[in-house]
Amino acid sequence: MKPHQSVFKDEAKLDINYVPRRLPHREKEQRLLREFFSFLLHFPGRMAQRVIITGDVGTGKTAVAQNFGAYITQEAKKTCKNLHYVHINCREYRGKLFLILQHLLSTFRPKFPKRGYSSEELLSTIIQVLDEDKAFLILALDEFDTFIEQEGSEAVYKLTRLQEMRAGQPQRLSIIGILRDLKPIERLDTSTKSTLQHNIIQLSRYPKIQLVDILNDRVAMAFEPSTIPEDVVDLVADLAVSESGNARFAIELLWRAGKYADAEDSDLVEPEYVRKAISSIAPVLRKSEIASLGFHEKLFLLGVARLFKESRRAYASLSEIEEVYAVVCEEFDEQPLSHIQLWKYVQLLSAMGIVKAEVTGAGIRGRSTRVSLSSVSASDLEKELITFVEKKER
């Protein structure tokens, strides 16, 4: 028997730590970052730079910074400039200046003693090492808010104003601070705050159309050809929009859906695997909520579940769901309710987070309404509903 072939071509391309060479819809921010630090390629040592990158979770802050780091160090090598980019997540070091500096120093001097030095001495040693190596450093501090909250204004001031105590000497240390919003910076004292507010790059949330582009890029890199239908990418993008345009969430969801497909020896990542994946991350199906629905609401939802389970599609029109609902009513010897009542059911189930409905164009009898079962596995939902409706609870 021939072993099943995975839907993945290279799943590492979906890893949270993977930084692609191309970042769709972040070209403008990348160009700006390169402009801020262009002096390091032409006149290193003349000045130091401080830049803040801010934006919600999943807007590409880390990816933009790391992509830039790879670019500028590669460009520096072409002209034999000793330029380093070091990316440190402050949360990993509990926001402690001492631990951050200790790790930073170890990247240049791995055998340097780990005890017996204060933060000030470590900082001084780092500059000394850069002088000895005739090197320049861009230090990117990810989750910079953790550092600010833990250490306060004094530590931030020391780190950002260090070069001012080296008048007439090469400026070797530049800083990139990465954080969700500017509130932590606003709480710093005036002199410290002024050093960080000159160069700010604000990343906005990704709208759906941009998320689709990002996902299609990753699909091409990570999956075998023709294993990801277009409506699956559309569904994942819709779900990510509901998570504030979080591209990281979208990529993880796509990876999980691929894993469900492999687990069931499927050659295709179907919408149902996306629904199973989202249920595993943020389950929304609660028995108490299902139990609270009226009998016909349960019948209608059973029709939704069966349509998506059997059709293997991500989306359906309300009129298509009505037809399946009518079949379910016949099965349970019930008279179907009106279109207007069913539209109210869609609104209710949408508010509960079980379905999503959107108007896609003009039409009658719901033909303009597109419905998706976005956050619940169709098969799991069907099983749960059968338990309730067979009891004929009215």
CATH number of 287-389: 1.10.10.10
pLDDT at position 10 over 90: yes
Identify the pLDDT of residue 394: 47
Residue 104 CA to residue 69 CA, distance in Å, equals: 16
Range in 186-190, 204-208, 338-342, 373-377 with the lowest mean pLDDT:
373-377
Q: How many CA atoms lie within 13 A of 270 on its CB side?
A: 19
Residues pairing with 174 in the sheet: 138
Average pLDDT over residues 75-80: 94
What does pLDDT average to over the chain? 91
Q: Which residue's entry shows tokens 């069966």? A: 306
Could you tell me the pLDDT band of residue 178, with boundaries at 50, 70 and 90? very high
Sign of CA dihedral 263, 242, 214, 175: negative
The answer to whether the CB of 123 falls within 8 A of the CB of 101 is yes
Copy the structure tokens of residue 61.
Answer: 């802050």
Q: Which residues contact 377 (CB under 8 A, 6 or more apart)?
A: 272, 275, 276, 279, 285
CATH of 27-203, one of 3.30.1490.20, 3.40.50.300, 3.40.1410.10, 1.10.569.10: 3.40.50.300
Domain locations along the chain = 27-203, 206-281, 287-389
- Mean pLDDT over 282-303 rounds to 85
Write out the H or E segment, with its range, that includes residue 357: strand 356-359
CA–CA distance, 372 with 238 (Å, rounded to integer): 10
Q: What is the pLDDT of residues 211-242, one digit of tens each?
A: 999 999 999 999 999 999 999 999 999 999 98
State mean pLDDT over 133-157: 94
- Whether the CA torsion 287, 288, 292, 293 is positive or negative: it is negative
How far is the C-alpha of 341 from the C-alpha of 23, rounded, in Å? 45
Closest Cα to residue 65, out of 95, 82, 86?
Answer: 86
Top-confidence residue, 235 or 280: 235
- List, in sequence order, every residue forming a beta bridge with 83; answer none if it has no partner: 136
Residue 347 dihedral angles phi and psi, to the nearest 5°: -60, -45
H or E segment at 9? none
Model confidence band, residue 364 (pLDDT cutoffs 50, 70, 90): very low
Q: pLDDT-based confidence at 122, cuts 50/70/90?
A: very high
At 181, which amino acid appears? D
Percent over 70 (pLDDT), the chain: 95
Q: What angle do CA 88, 89, 94 make, to 5 degrees?
A: 115
> Is-contact 150 92, C-beta < 8 A?
no
- Of residues 374 and 113, more confidence is placed in 113
CATH fold group of domain 206-281: Helicase, Ruva Protein; domain 3 (1.10.8)
Between 366 and 120, whose confidence is greater? 120
How far apart (Å, rounded) are the C-alpha atoms in residues 355 and 269?
20
Average pLDDT for residues 2-24, to the nearest whole number?
A: 91
> In the structure, what pLDDT confidence band is assigned to residue 366 with cuts at 50, 70 and 90?
very low
Range with the lowest mean pLDDT among 81-95, 268-282, 297-311? 268-282
20-70: pLDDT as tens digits: 999 999 999 999 999 999 999 999 989 899 999 999 999 999 999 999 999
3-state SS, residue 242: coil
Average pLDDT of span 242-246? 89
pLDDT of res. 29: 97
